[in-house]
């Protein structure tokens, strides 16, 4: 395996000069390697359970529909660009104040902190129209807004065990082994937008296995999940208004931050979090949002936000306890959004969650400070399983949190942090620093301390684990551009768990390192080389004792990626991933992944074709490889590849008529070493798994 990888890597490296030399010097690559791909791959691997990243994908799609005006004087508008850090935003604002509005995208490269690589990443999401601040008018929003409708169909083509046609008696014996609905997944969304100032949206979704039009009246008809929102922005002193489903995001995410949040990831350096205090929930994510109303009012430099949320949540129910006044208990919240079997349906909307609170902030030129306070309440009592690792954590039934956050910028230095107190619980805090001594060098450092008696399900602070509990750590990162076309990023994260946690039966420590070199092939493409190593504690069985021994499991990742434009109408991309895993008491494991991507986009044609062919070989599930794939808008695909086989996908986009677009996508995974795929209801008898997606998007 090692020899094969080295030969393949060497062969590809020999091809690079030939590839670069053969490129058309007049061609322009539309964008480089998307940093979101790298982050989603990383977070999918790190997540404890299946995570819905459609929210992030939706945000990028909305940026394409409503690009950011770089000539804007509004910092919050510029912060919509996720790849920009605070220093780049301040440098851009200072440049436009001194020299006037940007006239060309290439003028951006003379601004401190911007280079060709950053510009290429920004191209799909920005505009340079003359910026003029105008007063919001509901009449204009109704007259000049643009509606759009999006609908998507998806299905696995092979027969899965859960969809087998069996008798009612067998279903009665094993009810949770079979799905109640069809294998079709359906999604529809309506959005009405006016210049990022007014938005009205409705989302409806049915996952595969969930019912839609059941024959029996005992099951509900229609889509399994519905979401709706009305959102208003910058209407006089009313900064934000959200009705229906929405998100609130404050400070560094330690006190309150709903929705997904960026943390550390290879290829980037972590800076302070920043986001609009209130924003709409417009994705198919079924758990990470609030439902009710929220508003932010601005009085000069002071902003006041208030919010209220009242919604039902999925939860695991326990049998009634005769010693309690509560009829039912809850062991944990469910976050999959699946309601395919009787067991999953029993967890649907099992409890009611109420949240109420507010945030007040001061926004100065250098200093920004805020105070957040809120109370959460559930109508059923939580009774967690009696594990040693959560014995110090309070019940989630009723909790109050209060936190203070700040950031202070002076020249090239920014200090920021947040401290949060859980009433009757612990005090958690995070402190960060970012420093840019030179436009070509950015440094960052973050220290966090989350005690074992602090638990917050609505926290999204920087950290290795979830829920921001029982963890201490120090993160250090840097990004530098030593020469014009080369960018180097690296980080080291040292963390410890002062108490036990899941699958680790003793206090423990861990660490993670990453270094990446990115080379810009001027305006023709980009190449990156990355190395990353993680050392995480894990229980390991001992032959001489029934107890576990806590040891470090080591994973070493090697990645090479090249994206370039071979012809004006042809983009190519190559990837090579290699993973080596070692654990005490077991032999080393390896995994590799090699792929070739194609994108054909004739300049005067109304169609685009994207495709990939990949080979993979992973010794076990523990050495699996995650590889991000291009997908239809507002959707994502990051398959987990273990075993031995190949993976292909082909996606076609066609402009039908006017502003009506159609996407067709087919993907298949083929295994050479197994004859059954997955387990339980998802089991497929055979060595192939194929799925199709069809999406139609109409803009009026």
- Whether the Cβ atoms of residue 89 and residue 78 lie closer than 8 Å to each other: yes
Fold of 2-132+148-699: Maltoporin; Chain A (2.40.170)
Q: Which residues of 380-403 are buried (b: 16+ CB within 10 A; e: fewer)?
A: bbbbbeeeebbebbbebbebebbb
DSSP state string for 8-33: HHHHHHHHHHHHHHTS-TT---S--S
- Whether the Cβ atoms of residue 280 and residue 246 lie closer than 8 Å to each other: yes
Which positions ≥6 away from 100 have C-beta within 8 Å? none
Q: How far apart are CA 79 and CA 611, in angstroms?
A: 33
- Whether the Cβ atoms of residue 370 and residue 250 lie closer than 8 Å to each other: yes
Q: How far apart are CA 5 and CA 10, in angstroms?
A: 8
Please give the pLDDT value at position 54: 66
Please give the pLDDT value at position 155: 96
| Nearest CA among 150, 35, 67 for reference residue 633 | 150
- Whether the Cβ atoms of residue 295 and residue 236 lie closer than 8 Å to each other: no
Which regions in the chain score pLDDT beneath 50?
A: 1-32
Which positions ≥6 away from 218 have C-beta within 8 Å? none
Please give the pLDDT value at position 266: 80
Report domain extents, the chain. Answer: 2-132+148-699
Please give the pLDDT value at position 13: 39
3-class secondary-structure state, position 113 = coil
Please give the pLDDT value at position 168: 87
Please give the pLDDT value at position 29: 30
- Please state whether beta strands 381-382 and 329-333 pair in parallel, antiparallel, or not at all (unpaired): parallel
Per the DSSP assignment, residues forming a β-bridge with 648 are: 613, 668
- Whether the Cβ atoms of residue 616 and residue 625 lie closer than 8 Å to each other: yes
Which positions ≥6 away from 172 have C-beta within 8 Å? none
Q: What is the pTM (predicted TM-score) of this model?
A: 0.87
- Please state whether beta strands 315-318 and 684-685 pair in parallel, antiparallel, or not at all (unpaired): unpaired
Query: What percentage of the chain's residues is helix, strand, coil (to nearest 5)?
Result: 15, 45, 35
pLDDT digits (tens, 9 = 90+) for 621-668: 989 999 989 899 888 888 999 999 999 999 999 999 888 999 999 999
How many residues comprise the chain? 700
Running DSSP on this structure, what letter comes out for residue 394?
Answer: P
């Amino acid at each position: 395996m090692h020899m094969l990888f080295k030969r393949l890597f060497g062969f590809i490296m020999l091809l690079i000069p030939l590839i670069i030399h053969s490129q058309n010097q007049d061609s322009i690559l539309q964008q480089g390697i998307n940093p979101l791909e790298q982050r989603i791959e990383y977070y999918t691997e790190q997540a404890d359970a299946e995570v819905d990243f459609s929210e992030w994908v939706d945000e990028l799609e909305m940026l394409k529909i409503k690009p950011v005006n770089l000539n804007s004087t509004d910092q919050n508008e510029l912060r919509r660009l996720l790849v920009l850090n605070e220093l780049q935003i301040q440098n851009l604002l200072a440049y436009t104040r001194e020299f006037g509005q940007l006239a060309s995208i290439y003028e951006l490269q003379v601004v401190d902190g911007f280079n060709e690589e950053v510009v290429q990443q920004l191209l799909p999401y920005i505009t340079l129209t003359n910026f003029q601040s105008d007063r919001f008018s509901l009449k204009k929003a109704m007259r000049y807004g643009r509606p759009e409708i999006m609908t998507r169909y998806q299905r696995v083509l092979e027969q899965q065990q859960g969809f087998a046609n069996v008798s009612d008696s067998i279903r009665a014996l094993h009810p949770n082994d079979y799905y109640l609905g069809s294998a079709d997944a359906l999604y529809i969304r309506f959005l009405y937008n006016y210049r990022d100032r007014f938005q009205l949206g409705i989302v409806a979704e049915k996952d595969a296995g969930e019912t839609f039009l059941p024959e029996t009246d005992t099951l509900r008809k229609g889509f399994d999940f519905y979401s709706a929102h009305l959102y208003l922005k910058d209407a006089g002193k009313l900064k934000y208004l959200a009705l229906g489903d929405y998100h609130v995001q404050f400070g560094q995410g330690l006190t309150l931050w709903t929705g997904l949040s960026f943390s550390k990831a290879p290829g980037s350096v972590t800076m302070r979090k920043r986001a609009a205090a209130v924003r709409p929930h417009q994705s198919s994510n079924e758990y990470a949002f609030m439902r009710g109303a929220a508003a932010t009012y601005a009085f000069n430099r002071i902003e006041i936000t208030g919010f209220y949320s009242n919604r039902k949540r999925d939860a695991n129910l326990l049998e009634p306890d005769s010693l309690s006044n509560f009829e039912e208990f809850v062991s944990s919240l469910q976050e999959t959004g699946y309601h395919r079997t009787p067991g999953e349906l029993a967890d649907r909307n099992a409890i009611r969650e109420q949240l109420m609170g507010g945030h007040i902030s001061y926004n100065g030129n250098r200093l920004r400070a805020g105070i957040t306070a809120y109370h959460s309440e559930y109508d059923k009592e939580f009774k967690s399983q009696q594990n040693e690792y959560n014995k110090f954590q309070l019940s989630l039934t009723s909790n109050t949190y209060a936190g203070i956050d700040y950031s202070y910028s002076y020249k090239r230095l920014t200090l920021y942090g947040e401290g949060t107190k859980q009433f009757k619980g612990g005090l958690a805090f995070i402190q960060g620093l970012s420093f840019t001594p030179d436009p070509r060098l950015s440094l960052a450092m973050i220290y966090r301390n989350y005690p074992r008696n602090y638990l917050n399900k609505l926290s999204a602070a920087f950290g290795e684990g979830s829920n921001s509990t029982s963890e201490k750590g120090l993160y250090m990162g840097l990004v530098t551009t030593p020469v014009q076309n080369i960018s180097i990023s690296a980080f080291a994260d040292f963390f410890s768990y002062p108490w036990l946690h899941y699958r680790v039966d003793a206090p423990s420590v861990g660490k993670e390192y990453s270094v990446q070199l990115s080379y810009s092939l001027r305006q023709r493409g980009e190449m990156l080389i990355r190395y990353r190593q993680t050392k995480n504690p894990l229980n390991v069985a001992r032959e001489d004792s029934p107890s576990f021994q806590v040891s470090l499991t080591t994973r070493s990742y090697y990645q090479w990626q090249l994206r370039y434009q071979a012809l004006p109408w042809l983009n190519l991309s190559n990837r090579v991933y290699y993973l080596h895993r070692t654990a005490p008491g077991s032999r080393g494991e390896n995994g590799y992944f090699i792929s070739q991507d194609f994108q054909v986009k004739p300049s005067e044609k109304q169609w685009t074709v994207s495709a990939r062919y990949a080979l993979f070989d992973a010794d076990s599930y523990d050495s699996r490889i995650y590889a991000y794939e291009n997908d239809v808008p507002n959707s994502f695909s990051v398959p987990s590849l273990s075993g031995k086989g190949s993976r292909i996908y082909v996606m076609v986009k066609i402009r039908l008529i006017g502003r009506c677009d159609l996407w067709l996508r087919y993907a298949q995974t083929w295994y050479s070493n197994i004859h059954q795929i997955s387990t339980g209801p998802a089991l497929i008898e055979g060595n192939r798994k194929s799925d199709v997606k069809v999406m139609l998007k109409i803009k009026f």
